[in-house]
Structure 1
Amino acid sequence: MFKSKKVMISLGVFVLFALSLTLLANDEDKPIITDSSPVMSNQSLRYESIQYTDKEPEVEKIEQSINYDGYEKVAENDQLALYVEKESLGIKVENKQSGYVFESGLSPDKEYNLNTTWTNQAQSALTIDYQTADGGSDTESILSESSEVTLSLIDDGFAAVVDFAASDISLAIEVTLENDDVIVHIPNEKISENENKLVTLMAYPFLGAVENDAIPGYAVIPDGSGALMRFKDEYSGVSNHFSAAFYGEDLGFSRQKQEEAGVINETNHLSLPLYGIVHGVSQHGFLNVIESGASYANLLVYPAGVSTDFNWITARYNYRYSYFQPTNQSMEGYNTIQEDRNQFDITERISFVEGEKASYTGLAKVYQDKLIDQNIFEEKEDKFDVRLEFLGSEHKPGLIFDSVFEMTPITSIQSMVTQLESEGVADIFTIYKGWFDKGLTGALPEKFPVEDKVASDDEIEETLAFLDDKDIPMYFHTDYLKAYRNAGGYSPRQDVARKINAETINGTDEDYRYVYLSPEKSKEMLDSDLEEYEAIGIKHLAIAHASTLYSDFNDDYFTRLDHQKIWQDMLISIEQQGMKTALYKPNDYLFKATERYLDISLYSSGYFFTTDTVPFLQTVLKGYIPYYAPFSNFNANGTDDLLRMIEYGAYPSYYLTEAPSNLLINSGSKDLYTSEFSDWKDEIVMSYHLIAEALEPVQGETIMNRIVHATGLVEVEYSNGTAIIVNYNDSQMSVGNRNIASKDFIVIEGGEE
């Protein structure tokens, strides 16, 4: 049995207070924040939108009739049986617990609305795109041109060599069983090309594919917090498939002059190299984790009605990227592809699950277990606190001379912390930005000396000692990617990353142009800075852009894999120095070095083909790495975003200054339109106590289950037996004999009857 603890502070009172505070805090330079969505003001529709989660429909047990004609059983263990068809290398995977079978191809007993090309692709284990010797492009599947397949049995599975007939490209594939997993491996060293060049490859793209809505279920997509594509026979307004690069686009390759037609491109960064399929919630499913090759892979999602009647999802591996090669200063030119092939192995680990694991929560727990087994989550601590990120100084250009102006002297943080502590805000961690010479957007990549308008070495030491006495860590914000155009400390010729077409890789912060550093230069600058950090007592770093990967075609060529390894080495160097790191939206390969996850996505990108947003990423991390929401002083929907933090287990964040934010006009931080501590203090206090009431009872615990009882009414169950029920609706809702007021939540703690 449970005992119920009702929240002690009314969310309704909080919202009215926060709204009034925001109105008072704004002046003519600060836009008013309201609690209504500019996109969807009708609340009942809002909670039925793709940014929320639907209640799971009741579904009957899925019945199957499997035709094994042409298939041979090649491996079996206590959990799975693996069958292969010798000509196509198509597979069937039987779960011996339930007898359910996942197939990579089509049933011979049915007729499909597919042309020959799509039929061959659906049936074949491998499909490649290639460039012909005369510069054209073509696609070939194993069955397209009667490719030669040489199959041999190995321990726990099979190995095959495929000689593609039309392209004259050959490669090898191994498929093996390991406990509940099927492992697909394509070694780079076994790829052979002649006149034609391998461009992309897909392996078993139709594994788990569903024709229209023939099977109830969904695909799990690692977009933002997580998204679902429930299987339907049509998706209103969707005419294109989705393509996004795992870990983000490789900036070392220019975009083509014309965007690829018929493709929905990514908005959120795909930080987890995986996707999932569920056939019948709480019945059958699998999670496909890319263990090797993710840095060169795109996630493809095809809803039914786009090209075929099937819903399918897969990874497409890029052995060569296309890019635009300019031929003159007017930027005329042509599209072409890499000459040299990207060098990487492909390894996919497909984990098949049954029962409660066959859901987005269950699949997230499967991935969490893998990270635990790999010691990625060892010695992590998930403890509730509030993140206060302070802007120290900023740079502003002038007609003749640039200027640096102070926003938050480091010693002023002591007073702000003291004020919050007097209001019961005891658990805090801080980040200090813009502490380096010439302000936040002034002198990068150089950081030292410290900007004397906001801090001195003695003042840093004093403030750190003050915070240490209160067990409040201060992380110093830094960036080892950006180099501003007019800054020093780097060579514009030798130290700047370049694209394959020799252009520099660059970006902008508002009106501030910067270039990207070569990965080797980033490492060199960190090694130099580590001595400076130690000298002034800095023990914590908040590192921006650590998940940005790109190939660098400067004199010393670095691949994305090289860049990934350099980032990992940099974080090891920081750890060896006895320092800790907080990272902004880190990719999965950085989790081991991540003490705190900053700016976690609380929503998905909202693509039309998706149907739900879910806390997949949060379920992976909860209990091991504390994660923090984007800044609450930027929220347009304060009440719902606060409830979303509570439901998703995310800790609150505020971006603050001592000085008024209207001083930031015409600076690199001009989008920070409301930040003055005196304006936000009372809301910080109120939101802290409110969220602490919900999340302190589950700090250090993992998410075990999530139930949508009705539209806008969600329950999250934790490993200590505690449950949190959140009601987003404008009216009171009930779960069993418990009532949850409108725009409120209750905490049900596990305990005595």
Structure 2
Amino acid sequence: MKAKRIVCALLVIGAALALWNPGDGKPARAADAAAEGGDAPAAAGTPSAKLRKPAKDGSLTPAAENDRLRLYFDNRSGGVAVEDKATGSLFYSNPLGALEDAKASDAAKEELMSQISLVYNVKGKEGDLEMNSYTHAMKLDQVGWGKQEQGLTVEMVLGREEQRRLLPQQIAKASFEENVLSFIEAEREKRRILAFYILYTREDLEGAKGKELLAKYPALEKEDIYVLKTSITERDKGVLESSVKKAGYTYEKLAEDYERVGYDGDEAVFPYFKLRLDYTLQEDGLSVTVHNGQIEYDKERFNLVKMTVLPYFGAGKSGEEGYLFLPDGSGTIIGFNNDGSKNTLLTTGKLYGPDYALSQADRGSFKQEFRAPVYGIKKDGSALLAVIEEGDAVAEINGMMGNINHSWNTAYASFTIRNKDTFIQENAFEQAPWIIYEKNAYDGNIALRYFILTGEEADYAGMAGAYREYLVSEGILKKTDPPEQIPFYLDTMGAVDTMVRKFGIPTRSQAAVTSFDEAGRMLERLTGKGVSNVKLRYTAWYNGGYFHTAASGMKVEKVLGGAKGMKELAAKARESGAELYPDVDFVTVSANKAFDGFKPHKDGIRSLFQKTGYKGILNVATLEYENSVWGVDPNKIPDYYDRFAKDYATLKPEAISLSSLGDTLNSNFKNNRQVNREQSMALAEEVLAKADEAYGNVISDSGNAYLFPYADHILNLPDEDSSLSIADRQVPFLQIALHGYIGYAGEPLNLASDLRPAVLKALETGSGAYFKLNYGDSSLLKDAFLFDDVYASRFADWEDAAADLYAEMNEVLKDVQDQAIVDHEQLAEQVYKTTYESGKAVIVNYGDQEIQVEGIRVGPVDYAAVTP
């Protein structure tokens, strides 16, 4: 059984790391509280009185240190800097020289100087608005900070009334004359002010448009009012505001006047967000926490939609050597945009894949998902890895290129606090989309952990090693104690619906693609050919087979051999040294029958528009969603598991496969039963923990990181990236992090488009041998519209080849199964080397020419194992 799972899900805020040589921005060690002006009394719209204001000299003020690192408050930006004491290198939350960046606009410069960016919406209004901590807090003198044990705290207030123009949109005539015009001495200036307003009197109510005016300006029933002309330009607004301010008019008086006339427009809404960041030094880096649930703002008027944290921490300047690391598939690296050739500004991935309670659009291209809550920046001789510790399920990870809007290349995370969705009615003519916001906002913390890497560890392999060590230290990963031979993963399918004739009438009925007895025969024949340590995953065996009803109970398909046949297969697996993993899908339902415990409108996921939600089935040929299955309300999944487990126990199982729990994570927006993604992840973990406790052997798919404490094996773990044009190279980050701790395999070898490179990929990444094979006639799959998925799965066609490939892979990898991958590197074009703890290495050559590297000859499309 796996060790403890950290209670909070993994989440990393912000970007990765910027390394700076000691020089510009060197700490002013003599700076102290007195130099900064000391503690200041709090005023409305300011941080707590106990916190000190940033110093005006823009220095770095020491706050905390440990044996390796020193933490500073950065008085330039309101952010921080971390110093590696051994090298003197500084890692800044905001780039030095950002305000002098010739490529950046004034707005971009202020973004570069921000630690927090917020997206919010005024309720009842269209469109989202943005704020950042430099423009809307630091420049307004609304940042305070204080030292904490091994760290510092920063409080900031983003937004205040003074951000809005002091310019009445509607005002009673009497108040305007008394509180503004009476204080203007020059008649010419008075006339200029009045030229910008329209005066409506009670006499106007007697005209043809009287009813319309009264509906628009109800105050006209009691008194005359001035209304600002809508045609006024921004330049004129500035001139007029100067006159109003000169008259001594205040925001307090403006609020009174708005209440008097009943005006509640955009200009009357003042955004205000007060929040706190905690920075804490760790032995090997820095932890950052935003107390998202404690952010103070007017929840009656505003929706907080999204938050970005430390978007430029460790950013690398174009012209410097370095790259971004993103968890796209197995991992991808994107070199700094030093020549300006990369014209895609932003690359984004939603962590843990799509949420099928939200609208899905056709992708246009095949894309891997982001499975691990990590990202990084490599720069010169140092690197930074960020791990999202809390908020990962609502996070998206971004890579931004320099040489486009500004000079800086960066990676960072954004967090969706409140989802929104849009809907356009079919065949609508010039209709604006409906927009609706999630009610059940995420209110947990956002927490990031940054690891500072230097020397030989400062690359993607070092980042993966740091992530592995972190997971081990948190009790999430434990070393495996594997059998002598590598695993042979065998996926086989049970029952499908197919067309048959009964009494001459065509009808659909269940047919066995691979019965329990036939699965036993496959085991016998494989073990007879020298295959051992078989992990047999059996799908489509219960509640209707491939197109199954809800897993709220269990009925073993008779056409496969029934419960007795399943028990006999389990016994045969034990006798041959194999393990049987029956697969159960608690996340989706593809068939619905009366009294099956599932009603789509009641037990399925709902969209924000209260429509039943579906998981789209992507056709990788057309890149369109051509089919769909219902998504199960995450609230129902633990109950379904408990009910299914009671029936499942009658089979006396020793293992289970929960493939969909590691692949798909949905919200549910059904009114009164809403579940956000963080809550959905906690429910999935609850089920995974129960299965791990009950059976001790769990297989799942795809590798969403919340699986790691519970899964013994992960199939279909990504072994490539999305091959985006902006990316420079795919890397096996996930495999480096997990090898020796969790068994895994990529795609089934028999379904690969090119077999030999797929075998080399498995050897390069230390994967098990994985085949998806069925005993029966493949025509059954075609009749069930599944032929495209398993077109090359006939066991008789692969029996000998699978045994031979297993023997080949086993010879290379059997003695390193429990060893971590300590290095991975590219030696030449299409030549890669993977090194294990013992010093053993595997060199693979994907090229069509023989090569010689490190004194070793490797043939075309071949490999060499090197022992120390």
Q: Which interval holds the TM-score relative to the shorter structure?
A: 0.7 to 0.9
What do the CA deviations read for 1:359-408 (whole angstroms, capped 9, x no partner)?
11111111101111111123634551211111121113689732111111
Q: Give the alignment of 1:515-530 within 5 angstroms.
A: 515-530=630-645
Q: Give the alignment of 1:241-252 within 5 angstroms.
A: 241-252=346-357
Question: What amino acid maps onto 1:93 in structure 2?
Answer: V
Question: What amino acid maps onto 2:121 in structure 1?
Answer: Q
What is the aligned partner in structure 1 of residue 455 from structure 2? 355
Task: Kindly indicate whether residue 793 of structure 2 is the aligned counterpart of residue 694 of structure 1.
Answer: no
What is the aligned partner in structure 1 of residue 714 from structure 2? 597
Tell me the distance in 1 between the aligned counterparts of 2:87 and 2:831.
32
What is the aligned partner in structure 2 of residue 396 from structure 1? 498
Report SS of the residue matched to 1:356.
helix
Tell me the distance in 2 between the aligned counterparts of 1:710 and 1:175.
42
Q: Give the alignment of 1:536-575 within 5 angstroms.
A: 536-547=651-662, 548-554=664-670, 555-575=672-692
CA-CA distance at 1:292 after TM superposition = 0.7
Task: Kindly indicate whether residue 611 of structure 2 is the aligned counterpart of residue 503 of structure 1.
Answer: yes
Q: Give the alignment of 1:239-388 within 5 angstroms.
A: 239-254=344-359, 267-280=367-380, 283-325=381-423, 333-339=433-439, 341-378=441-478, 380-382=480-482, 384-388=486-490
Cα contact 1:276–1:286 (8 A) shared by 2: yes
Question: What amino acid maps onto 2:703 in structure 1?
Answer: P
Cα contact 1:436–1:447 (8 A) shared by 2: no
CA-CA distance at 1:255 after TM superposition = 5.2
Name the TM-score, length of structure 1 as normaliser: 0.86
Cα contact 1:387–1:429 (8 A) shared by 2: yes
CA-CA distance at 1:640 after TM superposition = 1.1
What is the aligned partner in structure 1 of residue 155 from structure 2? 161
What do the CA deviations read for 1:62-96 (whole angstroms, capped 9, x no partner)?
96533235221222211111222246312221111
Indicate the larger mover: 284-293 or 78-87: 78-87
Cα contact 1:390–1:431 (8 A) shared by 2: yes
What is the aligned partner in structure 2 of residue 629 from structure 1? 746
CA-CA distance at 1:468 after TM superposition = 0.3
Tell me the distance in 2 between the aligned counterparts of 1:565 and 1:106.
37
What is the aligned partner in structure 2 of residue 144 from structure 1? 135
Question: What amino acid maps onto 2:158 in structure 1?
Answer: F
Tell me the distance in 1 between the aligned counterparts of 2:577 and 2:600.
42
Cα contact 2:349–2:396 (8 A) shared by 1: yes
Report SS of the residue matched to 1:657.
coil
Q: Give the alignment of 1:218-229 within 5 angstroms.
A: 218-229=323-334
Higher helix share: 2
What do the CA deviations read for 1:262-319 (whole angstroms, capped 9, x no partner)?
xx99922212111011112xx2111111111111111111122443332111111112
Tell me the distance in 1 between the aligned counterparts of 2:156 and 2:679.
30
Task: Kindly indicate whether residue 113 of structure 2 is the aligned counterpart of residue 113 of structure 1.
Answer: no
Report SS of the residue matched to 1:493.
helix
What is the aligned partner in structure 2 of residue 12 from structure 1? none
**RMSD over aligned Cα atoms:** 2.5
- Pairing partner for 1:718 from 836, 860, 865: 836
Q: Return closer, same or farther for 1:622/1:452 CA change in 2, 3 Å cut-off.
A: same
Tell me the distance in 2 between the aligned counterparts of 1:598 and 1:728.
23
Question: What amino acid maps onto 1:193 in structure 2?
Answer: Y
Cα contact 1:409–1:455 (8 A) shared by 2: yes
What is the aligned partner in structure 2 of residue 49 from structure 1? none
Q: Return closer, same or farther for 1:610/1:625 CA change in 2, 3 Å cut-off.
A: same
- Pairing partner for 2:827 from 694, 700, 709: 709
Cα contact 1:243–1:266 (8 A) shared by 2: no
Q: Return closer, same or farther for 1:477/1:306 CA change in 2, 3 Å cut-off.
A: farther
CA-CA distance at 1:250 after TM superposition = 2.8
Question: What amino acid maps onto 1:438 in structure 2?
Answer: G
CA-CA distance at 1:142 after TM superposition = 2.0
Tell me the distance in 1 between the aligned counterparts of 2:439 and 2:588.
29
Q: Return closer, same or farther for 1:402/1:444 CA change in 2, 3 Å cut-off.
A: farther
Task: Kindly indicate whether residue 567 of structure 2 is the aligned counterpart of residue 467 of structure 1.
Answer: no
Q: Return closer, same or farther for 1:572/1:469 CA change in 2, 3 Å cut-off.
A: same
Q: Return closer, same or farther for 1:731/1:108 CA change in 2, 3 Å cut-off.
A: closer
Tell me the distance in 1 between the aligned counterparts of 2:467 and 2:365.
26
Report SS of the residue matched to 2:560.
coil
Q: Return closer, same or farther for 1:255/1:308 CA change in 2, 3 Å cut-off.
A: farther
Tell me the distance in 2 between the aligned counterparts of 1:93 and 1:82.
5
Indicate the larger mover: 566-575 or 468-477: 566-575
Cα contact 1:697–1:749 (8 A) shared by 2: no
Tell me the distance in 2 between the aligned counterparts of 1:482 and 1:81.
50
Indicate the larger mover: 492-501 or 649-658: 492-501
Tell me the distance in 1 between the aligned counterparts of 2:609 and 2:339.
41
Question: What amino acid maps onto 1:506 in structure 2?
Answer: Y
Tell me the distance in 1 between the aligned counterparts of 2:281 and 2:616.
48
Task: Kindly indicate whether residue 66 of structure 2 is the aligned counterpart of residue 66 of structure 1.
Answer: no
Q: Return closer, same or farther for 1:627/1:245 CA change in 2, 3 Å cut-off.
A: same
Cα contact 1:660–1:675 (8 A) shared by 2: no
Cα contact 2:324–2:376 (8 A) shared by 1: yes
CA-CA distance at 1:512 after TM superposition = 5.7
Tell me the distance in 2 between the aligned counterparts of 1:393 and 1:478.
14
Q: Return closer, same or farther for 1:455/1:741 CA change in 2, 3 Å cut-off.
A: same
Counting matched residue pairs gives 682
What do the CA deviations read for 1:35-57 (whole angstroms, capped 9, x no partner)?
xxxxxxxxxxxxxxxxxxxxxxx
Cα contact 2:101–2:109 (8 A) shared by 1: no
Report SS of the residue matched to 2:780.
helix
What do the CA deviations read for 1:605-644 (whole angstroms, capped 9, x no partner)?
0111110111100001000101012111211121111111
Q: Return closer, same or farther for 1:388/1:749 CA change in 2, 3 Å cut-off.
A: same
Tell me the distance in 1 between the aligned counterparts of 2:365 and 2:774.
36
CA-CA distance at 1:328 after TM superposition = 8.5
Q: Return closer, same or farther for 1:340/1:498 CA change in 2, 3 Å cut-off.
A: closer
Cα contact 2:656–2:697 (8 A) shared by 1: yes
What is the aligned partner in structure 1 of residue 726 from structure 2? 609
What is the aligned partner in structure 1 of residue 287 from structure 2? 183
What is the aligned partner in structure 2 of residue 75 from structure 1? 64
CA-CA distance at 1:423 after TM superposition = 2.0
Q: Return closer, same or farther for 1:330/1:531 CA change in 2, 3 Å cut-off.
A: farther
Cα contact 2:367–2:722 (8 A) shared by 1: yes
Question: What amino acid maps onto 1:385 in structure 2?
Answer: P
CA-CA distance at 1:234 after TM superposition = 4.3
Tell me the distance in 2 between the aligned counterparts of 1:65 and 1:201.
32
Report SS of the residue matched to 2:558.
coil
Tell me the distance in 1 between the aligned counterparts of 2:427 and 2:828.
59
Name the TM-score, length of structure 2 as normaliser: 0.75
What do the CA deviations read for 1:108-136 (whole angstroms, capped 9, x no partner)?
49543111111111112222222246444
Q: Return closer, same or farther for 1:293/1:62 CA change in 2, 3 Å cut-off.
A: closer
Q: Return closer, same or farther for 1:235/1:87 CA change in 2, 3 Å cut-off.
A: closer
Question: What amino acid maps onto 1:687 in structure 2?
Answer: L
What is the identity percentage for the equivalent residue pairs of Structure 1 and Structure 2?
22
Q: Return closer, same or farther for 1:433/1:637 CA change in 2, 3 Å cut-off.
A: same
CA-CA distance at 1:588 after TM superposition = 1.4
Tell me the distance in 1 between the aligned counterparts of 2:399 and 2:863.
35
CA-CA distance at 1:421 after TM superposition = 2.1
What do the CA deviations read for 1:665-691 (whole angstroms, capped 9, x no partner)?
241523221211111112101211111
What do the CA deviations read for 1:317-366 (whole angstroms, capped 9, x no partner)?
11222211467997974124335642121111111111111111111111
Report SS of the residue matched to 2:756.
helix
Q: Return closer, same or farther for 1:586/1:96 CA change in 2, 3 Å cut-off.
A: same
Task: Kindly indicate whether residue 241 of structure 2 is the aligned counterpart of residue 171 of structure 1.
Answer: no
Cα contact 2:550–2:592 (8 A) shared by 1: no
What do the CA deviations read for 1:153-205 (whole angstroms, capped 9, x no partner)?
22222212211124311111111212122111111233011234322222221
Tell me the distance in 2 between the aligned counterparts of 1:185 and 1:544.
33
Tell me the distance in 2 between the aligned counterparts of 1:501 and 1:231.
41
